Amino acid sequence: MKKIMKIAAMLTLIALCAVMVISCGKTETPKDTAAPAPDTTAAPGTAAPAPDTAGADDNVIVMCTNASFPPYEFVENGEITGIDAEIAAKIAEKLGMTLKIEDMEFSALIPAVQSGLADFAMAGMTVNEERLQSVNFSTSYATGVQVVIIPEGSDIASLDDLNGKKIGVQLATTGDIYATDDYGEENVEEYATGNDAVLALTQGKVDAVIIDNEPAKAYVAANEGLTILSTEYAVEDYAIAIAKENTELLDKVNAALAELIDDGVVTEIVNKYIG
């Protein structure tokens, strides 16, 4: 990578770190650690991307993610694992490269890909029109469904009942976008992670959480007294985000993904995590 690109990447990194510090400061971090889903929270210090830049080492491919999203990505024994991490490792293997995973805020993922800090983002990320303005997406490798988590015995029985209620979401996710559109910005509380949003729900700070179905199941399993509304809010496709100009990588990733899907490897990995 040319020197000027490195400097640009470093500046972006500094800006991203500043954003992270600011947004962390805004996030409510209650002292009592009420039942987070097991092993989903990154250890302190793992949230900031290491100052490696994608392409710095020709044989290393850098993936960025937000590892508080089980079963797609979560931290176990200090390591990022899950469906996305495993599929990414298989893709890297096919490309003859070593995979390196950087954990960061969800809202930092697309900027990281655009600036070249990461080669790709894989984070249970939904393909949508707005994101397609900024990055390209691979073919889809999974389906996600936005669902509503509520406390057991809640008077919320339908999507309509969410009107006027406080809704917790993870910042910059599609759940955040839809909830803001449908129920009004003033009714939506944004949290840095899905885990933080669910924690707020268990503490009665919000009435419901809108999040993807598989993480929702993991959070409900890990926290007493929560349940998922049977109505699905939105159905979406997950794909890998790659910089617009990096069409070479997009082609390679799509080719690798097609083989992994055909060979049943993707299904095998998904089945390992989703019963």
The residues, ordered by sequence, that sit 6+ positions from 79 with a Cβ below 8 Å of its Cβ are none
Nearest distance in Å: CB 67, ligand ARG: 7
Residue 238 · residue 121 · CB < 8 Å: no
Q: Is 210 an interacting residue with respect to ligand ARG (CB under 6 A)? A: no
Nearest distance in Å: CB 22, ligand ARG: 19
Burial classification of residue 60, based on how many CB atoms lie within 10 Å of its CB (0-12 exposed, 13-18 middle, 19 or more buried): middle
Q: Is 246 an interacting residue with respect to ligand ARG (CB under 6 A)? A: no
Nearest distance in Å: CB 82, ligand ARG: 9
Residue 117 · residue 9 · CB < 8 Å: yes
Residue 58 · residue 240 · CB < 8 Å: no
What totals of helices (H) and strands (E) does the chain contain, helices first? 9, 14
Whose structure tokens read 């910089």? 243
Nearest distance in Å: CB 193, ligand ARG: 7
- Residue choice 63, 85, 101, 106 for contact with ligand ARG (CB under 6 A): 106
Contact segment (CB under 6 A) with ligand ARG among 44-52, 168-176, 197-205, 263-271 equals 168-176
Pair of tokens at residue 68: 């508080």
Q: Is 137 an interacting residue with respect to ligand ARG (CB under 6 A)? A: no
Residue 43 · residue 191 · CB < 8 Å: no
Q: Is 174 an interacting residue with respect to ligand ARG (CB under 6 A)? A: yes
Q: Which of residues 56-75 bind ligand ARG (CB under 6 A)?
A: 65-66, 68-69, 73
Q: Is 212 an interacting residue with respect to ligand ARG (CB under 6 A)? A: yes
Residues at the interface with ligand ARG (CB under 6 A): 65-66, 68-69, 73, 106, 123-126, 144, 170, 173-174, 212
